[in-house]
Chains A and B, each alone.
Chain A
Amino acid sequence: MSTLTAHGLRLSFDDLLVLDGVDLQVSAGQTLALLGPSGCGKSTLLRVLAGFETADTGALTLDGEDVRGPSPLRGMVAQAGTLFPWLSVRDNIAFGPRQGGASDVRGTVADLLAVTGLTEFADALPRQLSGGMRQRAAIAQVLANRPPVLLLDEPFGALDAQTRLRMHEWLRSLLTERPTTTVLVTHDVEEALLLGDRLGMISARPARIVSERVLPFGRARGRHTLGDPEFARLRAEVLDAVLTA
């Protein structure tokens, strides 16, 4: 497990300042949920963490090593999904390990198919899956490389409320079973509270992390957590903070 650290990340596209000095640290095995309004620069921040964009200034390190460009060490799943449409679910999951030269990936693939509940759909193409299945397959594809860091960019944003809740429970249990340093960006307060160990609030563009708090619900969270008075109080408080940001 690894620690991801960013200090003073600043990024502009032409004259548009998108990131304005972002500082964050995600400790090994922890999940940092970043919550912010639409268009604030959350996805851009995640793309910088993934190495798809390079910050104009600032430092980004993984276990003290500078991050340069995309790498199997930092797996990112986007809302639109990252599956290759021409490959079956099985081959999508096997894609990463094969790039690394692994000859026998059957065990890894079978394990991830079981973990994601997709064993019966191993030979299906991505377009034959439901939205929730596609996102689980995309997460399995990234996890197949055993990345120490997982970056999730509103991975369940396109799903209906019922499926989204099921996916939250599934991801929570997955991250409990396989602790992975995770950064989740979302504009869904409930999602942030259910999945994060810590919650960071991002300002409207240009993005900065304006506050951070540790979430008190422990690891075993699910639909029962929604009825917790503390959860309801915190949700109202965070929602208020988002609306007044």
Chain B
Amino acid sequence: MTQGLIEAARAEAQAGGGFTALRRSRGRRGRRLLGLLLPLVLLVVWQVAVVLEVRDRNRLPAPVDVLVALQEFFLTPSRPVLSGVVPFVGAGWQHLGASLERTGVAWAAAVVVGLLLGLGLGLSRWFADLTDPLLNALRAVPLFAWLPLVIVQFGLGETAARVLVFVGALWPVVVSTADGVARVPRQHIETARMLGTPRARMWQRVYLPSALPEIVTGLRLSLTLAWTCVIVGELTGITWGVGAMMFSSRERGATDQIIVGILVFALIGYTADRLLRTASRRWVRWADT
């Protein structure tokens, strides 16, 4: 019987698999090209607005001005600057590295704390009753509302920036983990108990893997939020970081440099999400997400 099934599966693959795969491949290429259409249209509209002088050139630089600024930011050798001044020319990699490190450290901390809190909320009714009202209330506080308090508590600088990213990235991990754990099908729990899984190991062998698809969704959202929150963190008077560069550029009225910052944020955020999505497909291939 088994042999028959294998042969049937092979025959099916030979009969239809090739054409189906070809159609899918063409479909993917088409969708990718479609995704490039809107940025191209925006670029044309932007250039037309510059040619028609809708705004003066300082407020609305041409795409080519931004390209030049981008080249200055990343490819021109850096120049010495006074202490406390946020540099732009040749400082791209250093700003980007600072922002990435800040985001990475704070996000990793948010993931660890979020997973622990989420597991606690999902596994223990007592813990959920104890903490749910407080956590839900804190979750509703906008990130900017934390800014003054964090600056008062930690002063201007790196720690304050990381704390703000941590706060922004924490909640999606907590909520998705708690939801995922609470939704573990009863049959998985019963099967594991029947097969002899010790109670103390249930979280590791059943709850965590079963909730992984929801957790991964939370991680992706959390990473995106961490990356967007870093700009708020970089309002705290630090010298290095893409956000810090953008605020400094605003003070100098350098719109092209601000747009460079926006492009960097968009590109890195998009890339990070794609990477995490690709990795997560391997982790949760069983859930077909």
Contacts and interface: CB of A to CB of B under 8 A. Distances in A.
A121 B187 CA distance: 23
Given A84-B188, A127-B286, A127-B288, A99 B195 contact: yes
A119 B287 CA distance: 23
B1 A166 contact: yes
Interface string A116-128: 0110110001110
A90 to B, nearest CB: 14
A200 interface: no
Given A72-B196, A99-B195, A85 B5 contact: no
B187 A86 contact: no
Nearest to B2: A117
Contacts of B197: 99
B6 interface: yes
B193 to A, nearest CB: 5
A84 B284 CA distance: 13
Contacts of B288: 127
Ranked nearest first, the 6 interchain pairs of A and B with the lowest CB-CB distance are A96-B195, A99-B196, A117-B2, A72-B196, A82-B191, A70-B194
Given A80-B187, A86-B210, A86-B212, A120 B195 contact: no
Interface in B138-173: none
A117 B1 contact: yes
Contacts of A118: 2
Interface in A32-86: 50-52, 69-72, 74-76, 78, 80, 82, 84-86
A180 B20 CA distance: 46
A117 B4 CA distance: 11
A91 to B, nearest CB: 11
A70 B287 contact: no
A43 to B, nearest CB: 12
A118 B287 CA distance: 22
A120 B188 CA distance: 25
Interface of B: 1-2, 5-6, 187-188, 190-198, 201, 205-206, 209-210, 212, 284-288
Given A84-B191, A85-B287, A86-B284, 6 more contacts: A70-B194, A75-B194, A75-B195, A76-B194, A100-B196, A126-B286
A99 B198 contact: yes
A141 B190 contact: no
Contacts of B187: 78, 80, 82
Majority DSSP secondary structure for residues of B touching A = helix
A95 interface: yes
A86 B5 CA distance: 23
A127 B213 CA distance: 15
B190 A52 contact: yes
A13 to B, nearest CB: 15
Given A70-B190, A133-B5, A166-B1, A86 B196 contact: no
Contacts of A127: 286, 288
Contact of B194 (A50, A80, A120, A132): A50
Contacts of A100: 196
A103 interface: no
Contacts of A125: 285-286
Contacts of A86: 209-210, 212, 284, 286-287
Given A118-B2, A125-B286, A72 B194 contact: yes
Contacts of A87: 286
Contact of B2 (A72, A80, A84, A120): A120
A130 B12 CA distance: 14
A87 B210 CA distance: 10
A145 interface: yes
Interface in A181-227: none
Contacts of A84: 188, 191-192, 206, 209-210
Contacts of A141: 191, 195
23 contacts: A52-B190, A71-B196, A72-B194, A72-B196, A75-B194, A75-B195, A82-B187, A82-B194, A84-B188, A84-B192, A84-B206, A84-B209, A86-B210, A95-B195, A96-B196, A99-B196, A100-B196, A117-B2, A125-B286, A132-B1, A141-B191, A142-B194, A142-B195
Nearest to B210: A86
A41 to B, nearest CB: 18
Interface in A98-148: 99-100, 117-118, 120-121, 125-127, 130, 132-133, 141-142, 145
B195 A72 contact: yes
